[in-house]
Amino acid sequence: MEVYEKIFASVAAAILVLFLGALAYGALVLKINLPGHGEVISPGPGENLAVAVLKTPPFNTPGVKQVSPGKYEAAIMAQAWSFMPAEMDIPAGSELTFKVTSVDVTHGFFIPGTTVNMMVIPGHVSLETYRFEKPGTYLLLCHEYCGMLHHTMVGKVVVK
């Protein structure tokens, strides 16, 4: 009986080390992190969230802006069932920081083939930076069910 206990304890320890290694790999190599406490947009008295977001910079002028050579910032609003703006153009080799918020329900913000993957919570500003090295069109998807037209909520990043 003692032999089986040693085998079980060894297997359990090996699984624990494997899981901790996978967490370390994801955090350190793939740079997958939990969202932090960032900026929050709160509506004033008698004001709804959509109005508060539209008054708050940079969401009062959504779109892509160059902040320095090779670095861009995109202010994006997610709302049922669209991203505003739906298309963003940047040059190849540029770093793009996404600043995204929602005005209605929780949405997702996912660009397949990149590490861009965020939850977009109403009133909270989600941030993610990615360097687009290769030219092409990158599809932007909502991966969090947001209503009956969820499947139509798409956008794109065009890298030239």
Query: Using CA atoms, how far apart are residues 112 and 69, in angstroms rounded to an integer?
Result: 26
Longest dimension (CA), the chain: 70
Q: Is residue 158 scored above 80 in pLDDT?
A: yes
Q: Is residue 34 scored above 90 in pLDDT?
A: no
Q: What is the mean pLDDT of residues 61-76?
A: 95
Residue pair 117/144 in contact (Cβ under 8 Å)? The answer is: no
| Least confident stretch, 32-36, 54-58, 137-141 | 32-36
Looking at residue 25, its amino acid is: Y
pLDDT band at 35 (very low <50, low <70, confident <90, very high): low
Q: What is the mean pLDDT of residues 97-112?
A: 94
Q: Is 46 left (phi over 0), alpha (psi -120 to 50) or beta?
A: left
Predicted pLDDT at 40? 87
Coil, strand or helix at 142: coil
User: pTM higher than 0.85 for the full model?
Assistant: no
Predicted pLDDT at 112? 95
User: How high does pLDDT run on average in the chain?
Assistant: 91
**H or E element: which one contains 97?**
strand 94-102
For residue 148, give the DSSP letter.
T
Q: Which of 128, 72, 124, 134 is nearest to 103 (CA)?
A: 124
Predicted pLDDT at 143? 94
